[in-house]
Chains A and B, each alone.
Chain A
Amino acid sequence: KQEVTQIPAALSVPEGENLVLNCSFTDSAIYNLQWFRQDPGKGLTSLLLIQSSQREQTSGRLNASLDKSSGRSTLYIAASQPGDSATYLCAGGGDAGGTSYGKLTFGQGTILTVHP
């Protein structure tokens, strides 16, 4: 059974700092690893998706890495801004018989606050 853990639970940083969010998972037979952002009262916005065969993905100021052997993924945010304040979730994707990504197993999330 896949279990996903995120550290830290909360993080507060001044604007402009580079920061790293950590995610660990127990089952290395992961199909993919996805990072999401959730704003209060809102749904989830997909940030980055890393396939099991990939090591990292980049989008703008965001970079996510995946190390299946150690069961870890990190999300790096460069030059943080107050608008980055949100809850960040990582989720491991299973394999539903190869026909789709199947269900996602989520971590508890990291609450990020970037203050001006």
Chain B
Amino acid sequence: NAGVMQNPRHLVRRRGQEARLRCSPMKGHSHVYWYRQLPEEGLKFMVYLQKENIIDESGMPKERFSAEFPKEGPSILRIQQVVRGDSAAYFCASSGSNQPQHFGDGTRLSIL
């Protein structure tokens, strides 16, 4: 039973480009969470989604960031017009209903 799969593992973008981070939840999980870990900081919640719905986006920056979890396919975290401050590790977690979250290995985003 494969765990939470994130890709790419490492992503390099130039300032102003778009970054797309993908997360395939564990089989049978319909809840997806995105967290960000900035250098020298702890993990911060960004957004919580269920299939086709955003449940809680209280941790998402107001601009340039968006997330989706379509009926078919992986969850996508999209960052438009990236800036140096977006450099971080982005982690995805998934869970079943009323179940603990399982984390992927993360995507390390570097902005040149």
The residues of A with any CB-CB pair to B shorter than 8 Å are 32, 34, 36, 41-46, 49, 89, 91, 96, 99-109
Contact = CB atoms under 8 A, between A and B. Distances in A.
Contact of A49 (B4, B31, B100, B103): B100
B45 A100 contact: no
A100 B97 contact: yes
Contact of B101 (A89, A101, A107, A108): A101
B48 interface: yes
Interface string B59-78: 10000000000000000000
A106 B97 CA distance: 21
A103 B104 contact: no
B86 interface: no
B28 interface: no
Interface residues of B, number: 28
25 contacts: A42-B105, A43-B91, A43-B103, A43-B104, A43-B106, A44-B91, A44-B93, A44-B103, A46-B101, A91-B43, A99-B98, A100-B31, A100-B97, A100-B99, A101-B98, A101-B99, A101-B100, A102-B48, A102-B56, A103-B45, A103-B58, A104-B33, A104-B101, A106-B35, A107-B42
A49 B95 CA distance: 14
B59 to A, nearest CB: 7
Contacts of B93: 44, 104
B17 to A, nearest CB: 24
Nearest to B30: A100
B100 A89 contact: no
A32, A45, A91 pick with most chain B CB within 10 angstroms = A91
A105 B105 contact: no
Nearest to B43: A106
Nearest to A108: B42
Contacts of B101: 34, 46, 101, 104
Contact of B59 (A91, A101, A103): A103
A99 B104 contact: no
Contacts of B103: 36, 43-46
A106 B44 contact: yes
Closest 6 CB pairs of A and B: A43-B105, A44-B103, A103-B45, A106-B43, A108-B42, A43-B103
